Structure 1
Amino acid sequence: MDSAWWMLPLLVALVVGCLCPLTGTLLLLQRRLFLANLVSHAVLPGLALALALRLDPGFGGVVSGVAGALVAERFSRPERPGQAGDEAVLNTVLAGFLGLGVLLIPLLGLRVDLEAVLFGDLLAATGWDLLRSLGALAVLLSLLGWRYRQYVYLGVDPLGAASAGLPVRRLRLLLTLATAFTVVTAMTAVGVVLVIGLMAAPALLALGGASSMRQSLWRAAALGTALSGFGFWLAIQPGVNLPPGPLIGVLCLALLPFGAKALP
């Protein structure tokens, strides 16, 4: 098989497979994983506006995704996760931003391949997609190296972290930005709808039996990389010929029973 055409998409799949579980693990430890789902839907209005203004769609998606997360946090209580009404706020913001994005496309007269945006088109990945995914991974690793101990504290005891004077709001905003970068980067590989599975399933499995957050992070990254690589390889096999993004999403679902058993 000629490797010229599939090498670049494979590299994008591997980088995204490493990036998504790292972000997902941080969110899962803080019990904020639904934020990734919200951001993944909230990027659509920004993508539409950026296309209309002839700007980089990735930039518009990040701005819109962060805006959706900030609106949700404004009307919920992030310092007290699980409060009644918070899920209603998050779901309302998610639906509202998604609906706004869908409305903007015909209103602005745009021609957008919604199927590719929602479910990914990994085989159409470009060198720019690879550079953007590597940049997002570098940003996240830099954030972990800079604020690792504070994120450990925030994940274990958020109220204690606030009482100890940690910049909780700033830490959450930085993670929200990283989540938006991750979602926009993964859009090419698995789409904005399926990215949540790649964030959640490897992180869930990696947490079982882990002795530290660092161990959970590297386990999740290794598992996500293997999952994305295998999903892409399987999708391009003769006789299979399936879209890699949805197939990777199905493989994430297959991990769920193992992840549930791994948790204490």
Structure 2
Amino acid sequence: MAPAGRWRCISTNTTTTTTINTTTITTMFDDFLVRAGFAGVGLAFATGPLGSFVVWRRMAYFGDATAHAAILGVALALIFSVPVTLGTLAVALAMALVVSGLATRGHAMDATLGVLSHSALALGLVAISFVPGVRVDLSAFLFGDILAVGRQDLLVIWGGAAVVVALLVWRWAPLLTATMSEDLAVASGIDPRRERLVLTLALAIVVAVALKVIGTLLIAAMLIIPAAAARGFSRTPEAMAVSAVGIGAASALAGLGASYLVDTPAGPSIVTAAAVIFAITAAVTRR
């Protein structure tokens, strides 16, 4: 299994020395590299269309608060011995519902999101320190560990992405109407609160499946940057969503390639690649 964020690792044993031939090394390299690539592309399928709605609705802080709550989900999962993905999904969904509920009651959202986001992150970090007999690599949860993605992780990531895409396709027209104008949505017989709940559920699922790939601190970046990059040259909402998927996938593959070449952490490298693509598209579309 590949180390988190680093491609080069030398293992030593004081009693025995094992010689691994070139073919074995190549096979191992190809296995985890392919899995990492599939994980990044699978995540892009979910973050592309969902990130478009995040950009349209100006929900960047909303996504950030939900992502930070994932650390608390990790702590609770370890305490109650349940799968980390399940604990993360439950807490992310609870956080998203709380934030959504406060938004409908007229609370100042910038201050509320700041309080909830950092409180959940701090509480999660404190709670993990009280888990007996468990040593947790927090950097893997904060910045991701895409190089350690296994086959079961791929099933979770692609399964979660499929659920998110299915939700958005199912509610695409009502979601667009509610995004343009809640008054227009009500006049059309659409409940804006229900559409907000759909986005809340989709966001919680993305946070849960993205935790392994890019970590809680970078999830919001992968939601926003590819969608923002696609916005400048897209003529329709559908084109923007599809373009965001392509940019997200290209960012994942380019980030992995750069991580291998210059030996940098994979998760941040993916986000950096997305930022470079955004800069290029912004310069081109401005001309």
Instruction: Give the TM-score normalised by the residue count of structure 1.
Output: 0.90
> In the alignment, what sits opposite 2:110?
87
Counterparts of 2:183 and 2:277 in 1: how far apart (Å)?
32
More deviation, 9-18/93-102: 9-18
Question: Does the 8 Å contact 2:96/2:204 carry over to 1?
Answer: no
> In the alignment, what sits opposite 2:120?
97
Counterparts of 2:233 and 2:34 in 1: how far apart (Å)?
35
Counterparts of 2:148 and 2:127 in 1: how far apart (Å)?
24
1:207 aligned to 231, 234, 243, which one?
231
1:43-70 deviation per Cα after TM superposition (whole angstroms, max 9, x unaligned) = 1112111112111111111110111122
Counterparts of 1:165 and 1:258 in 2: how far apart (Å)?
41
Gap regions ≥5 residues in structure 2 = 1-25
Counterparts of 1:53 and 1:72 in 2: how far apart (Å)?
25
Counterparts of 2:233 and 2:183 in 1: how far apart (Å)?
25
Counterparts of 1:27 and 1:158 in 2: how far apart (Å)?
16
More deviation, 167-176/87-96: 167-176
Counterparts of 2:189 and 2:114 in 1: how far apart (Å)?
31
The DSSP-based 3-state class of the residue aligned with 1:209 is: coil
Aligned residue type for 1:254? V
> In the alignment, what sits opposite 1:31?
58
Counterparts of 1:254 and 1:6 in 2: how far apart (Å)?
22
1:113-136 deviation per Cα after TM superposition (whole angstroms, max 9, x unaligned) = 110000011111111111011111
What is the correspondence of 1:5-154 to structure 2 with a 5 Å cutoff?
5-77=32-104, 85-109=108-132, 110-154=134-178
> In the alignment, what sits opposite 1:174?
198
In the alignment, structure 1 residue 248 sits paired with structure 2 residue 257: no
> In the alignment, what sits opposite 1:4?
31
Change beyond 3 A, Cα 1:120–1:255 = same
Question: Does the 8 Å contact 1:77/1:86 carry over to 2?
Answer: no
Shift of 1:97: 0.9
Aligned residue type for 2:108? G
What is the correspondence of 1:171-250 to structure 2 with a 5 Å cutoff?
171-237=195-261, 240-250=262-272
Counterparts of 2:71 and 2:31 in 1: how far apart (Å)?
32
Question: Does the 8 Å contact 1:201/1:259 carry over to 2?
Answer: no
Counterparts of 1:245 and 1:48 in 2: how far apart (Å)?
21
The DSSP-based 3-state class of the residue aligned with 2:32 is: coil
The DSSP-based 3-state class of the residue aligned with 1:199 is: helix
Gap regions ≥5 residues in structure 1 = none
Counterparts of 1:217 and 1:100 in 2: how far apart (Å)?
35
> In the alignment, what sits opposite 1:158?
182
Question: Does the 8 Å contact 1:204/1:260 carry over to 2?
Answer: no
More deviation, 84-93/96-105: 84-93
Counterparts of 2:250 and 2:233 in 1: how far apart (Å)?
20
- RMSD value, Cα: 2.0
> In the alignment, what sits opposite 2:18?
none
Larger Rg: 2
Change beyond 3 A, Cα 1:233–1:173 = same
More deviation, 155-164/64-73: 155-164
Aligned residue type for 1:197? A
Shift of 1:84: 7.8
Question: Does the 8 Å contact 2:252/2:270 carry over to 1?
Answer: yes
More deviation, 91-100/251-260: 251-260
How many percent of aligned residue pairs carry the same amino acid?
Answer: 27
Counterparts of 2:200 and 2:128 in 1: how far apart (Å)?
25
Instruction: Give the TM-score normalised by the residue count of structure 2.
Output: 0.83
